[in-house]
Structure 1
Amino acid sequence: MTTAADRAFDAETLRRGLEGEPELLLSLYADDAEFRIVDHQTQPSHPKVLHGRDEIARLLDDVYSREMTHKLEQCVVQGDHAAYTESCRYPDGVRVLSESMLSLRDGKITEQTLIQAWDE
């Protein structure tokens, strides 16, 4: 039997996933999740939009194949929404900063909008 506690979004699992366990991170997404990315290449009027865990998995495979560190800086969870800040760093010192807003259902991410910027 599943309880409300079993379905709660877990910020510690998010941290572990973001900081180096992409399979764990992927497990936080609902099968029908939608992931929007806004940055200087995919601007607000034409964001990159991924549909479903398979497309999100391909993005995570690409991101986590790169030599870089990931750190969850902050996370706030309130009801069926969460928001977090992630910082990343490449070995050459290039930094990336992203902010994400999440919609949740039964403890899983159903929608994510990520806004990111990086050193050039």
Structure 2
Amino acid sequence: MTTTTQPTTTTTAALLDSLAAAIEANDASTIAAHYAPGATLSLLDRDHPPADPAILAGTDEIDAYFRDICGRNLGHRVADRVAAPDRIAFTQHCRYPNGQRVVCIAVARVKEGLIVDQTAVQVWDA
């Protein structure tokens, strides 16, 4: 008899807590480690509208993106965390040293303990 382990809110909540800690620590490698090898990250912002989002595919592109973000001397705070058995969501509040703020709202699908698909919407101060 084979037993299949179903994802639970507890396991996705632990994933979200770990991801949030890595984001707040500006730890690009650890952030990227939360993504499955074939994951996609779709970014929507002032430069990438819904008709033409930036789509990062695979851990190499996702890792490079987070290395860039974490190298910008931003302060990060993760809030509004929500975990379901196969999804996570959160807000990310960032501040540049000059005071400019960025807010990101992210929703992700999780499979086998890793993010497989994420959509993030980002807005900046004018």
Indicate if the aligned counterparts of 1:16 and 1:24 stay in contact, CA closer than 8 A. no
Shift of 1:93: 0.6
For residue 27 of structure 1, what is the aligned residue in structure 2? 33
- Counterpart of 2:108, as a letter, is L
| Counterpart-to-counterpart distance in 2, 1:4 and 1:80 | 9
**CA displacement 1:64-113 (0-9 Å, x = unmatched):** 11011011012101010111100000111100000001001011000000
TM-score by length of 1: 0.91
User: Do residues 92 (structure 1) and 95 (structure 2) align?
Assistant: no
- From the CA coordinates, give the structure whose radius of gyration is larger: 2
| Counterpart-to-counterpart distance in 2, 1:62 and 1:25 | 12
Shift of 1:11: 2.0
User: Do residues 12 (structure 1) and 12 (structure 2) align?
Assistant: no
- Aligned-residue Cα RMSD (Å) equals 1.6
| Percentage of identical aligned residues | 30
| Counterpart-to-counterpart distance in 1, 2:94 and 2:75 | 5
Which structure dedicates a bigger proportion of its chain to helix?
2
Indicate if the aligned counterparts of 1:72 and 1:87 stay in contact, CA closer than 8 A. yes
SS in 1 for 2:20: helix
For residue 64 of structure 2, what is the aligned residue in structure 1? 58
Indicate if the aligned counterparts of 2:29 and 2:67 stay in contact, CA closer than 8 A. no
For residue 80 of structure 1, what is the aligned residue in structure 2? 86
Shift of 1:15: 1.4
Aligned residues: 117
TM-score by length of 2: 0.87
